[in-house]
Amino acid sequence: MKYQILESPSIEALYHKERYVLKRITSVLFAIAGCSWFLLYVPESIIHQKTHELFKLQQYQIYVLLLTLWGLDYKRQLDRLTLLSQKASLLHKDVIDIQSSDIIEDVQKFEVLWLKKKTHGKHISWLITWTFLLSACILIMKQYILIFNQNI
């Protein structure tokens, strides 16, 4: 019987796909929010001035959420790189030689959209990510309801 030695997965495999999905979702939400500004060019005979003003105010809230989410993702990426640098100097290895088995106690820092198996402790960044994503989606839907529901 032939045995295959499985190496620990690369660090990139821990979070790369999830981070890619998060970036795509954030980009789509930014695009939808950006296209929503065109609704302000609808004539005032169709949409009231108060609705225009309320729309603008709520639109800024969406941008605050999305920009905060983007900034938090950037900060988490910086924290991951700092962790890898510290582990490399502690273990006297090059950063490229660090494996996921070397950072097993800090694997929760690599959670982006889904919780990792056997992680304990701080999942606040995961919770904030989902809260901000869902809040942005709800606010975008609320904007479209605000604009299109007044004439129904």
Quick: pLDDT tens for 91-117: 888 877 777 777 767 766 776 666 666
124: phi then psi, degrees, rounded to nearest 5: -65, -35
**Which residue bears the tokens 């030695």?**
5
pTM for the whole structure:
0.73
4 within some domain: no
Q: Is residue 17 one of the residues assigned to a domain?
A: yes
Q: Which domain holds residue 135?
A: 11-149
> Inter-axis angle of helices 124-149 and 49-91, to 10 degrees?
160
For the stretch 24-62, pLDDT in tens is: 988 999 999 988 888 777 776 677 788 888 888 888 899
How many CB atoms are located within 10 Å of the residue 132 CB?
A: 20
3-state DSSP call for residue 112?
A: coil
Residue 63 lies in a domain: yes
Residue linked to tokens 């004439």: 151
Q: What percentage of the chain reaches a pLDDT higher than 70? A: 77
Report d(CA 67, CA 60) in Å as an integer: 10
Residue 122 in any domain: the answer is: yes
CA–CA distances in Å: residue 8 to residues 43, 50, 53, 106, 116: 60, 58, 55, 15, 15
- Number of domains comprising the chain: 1
Burial of 137 (0-12, 13-18, 19+ CB in 10 A): middle
User: Where do we find the tokens 């950072």?
Assistant: 103
